[in-house]
Structure 1
Amino acid sequence: MTKMKPEKLLTLFEELAEKMDINIVQGKGDFQGGMCSLNDESYIVLNKLKPVDQRLGVLVKEFSKMNLKKIFIQPALREYILDTQQELL
């Protein structure tokens, strides 16, 4: 797997979310994060108090639930998602 800085991966996830009309919101609180919908808009909520690796894990988990086959994803990000999915199994 190509090693990419976590901050760059977050940026790539933000770009992917924008393409898919999903809002990524970072907040503080006592929660893990995840996907939700409000007024016909989709959101992935991340806890900015959690380590970046944990926030990336939430993004992988949520994007893994979606059909990404017809969406262009940067190869490094697609590889990261697939590799991380395998680790979670």
Structure 2
Amino acid sequence: MVETEQLESLESIVSQLGIELRYEKGDFQGGICRIGDKRLMIVNRSLEPPQRIAVIANELAQEDLSGVFIVPAVRKLIEKHDTTQSYQED
């Protein structure tokens, strides 16, 4: 699966979770925030596709994805970016 397909798949998952995805300028990598009752994922638009993939996958790894169909290659990508996984094993 090429980077553009990975990125599109991750963006689709974000949408399925009801999270608005925006690419904005700034001095940050990206993350999920809440404004009122609306959840937003903001990603720095100056990032290259591999960095965008890493940011989105890392944020998705923190979400409950049990109700979302995810192709195995993308699920593996998300699991690879799960920064909490090592803590959960202890």
| Residues 31 and 83 of structure 1, relative CA distance in 2, 3 Å threshold | closer
What is the TM-score of this pair, normalised by structure 1? 0.81
The CA RMSD over aligned residues, in Å, is 1.9
Give the aligned residue type for 1:66.
Answer: E
What is the TM-score of this pair, normalised by structure 2? 0.81
CA distance in 2, matches of 1:21, 1:46: 16
Which residue of structure 2 lines up, in the alignment, with residue 62 of structure 1? 59
Which residue of structure 1 lines up, in the alignment, with residue 3 of structure 2? 6
Matching residue within 31, 39, 42 for 1:42: 39
Gaps of 5+ in 2: none
Q: Percent identity?
A: 29
In the alignment, is residue 51 of structure 1 matched against residue 48 of structure 2? yes
Q: Is the 8 A contact 2:21 2:41 kept in 1?
A: yes
1:29 deviates by: 1.8
Q: Deviations over 1:26-50 (max 9, x none)?
A: 0112111111111211111111111
Q: Deviations over 1:3-52 (max 9, x none)?
A: x2111111101111111101110011211111111121111111111121
Gaps of 5+ in 1: none
CA distance in 2, matches of 1:46, 1:7: 16
Secondary structure, counterpart of 2:82 in structure 1: helix
CA distance in 2, matches of 1:45, 1:61: 13
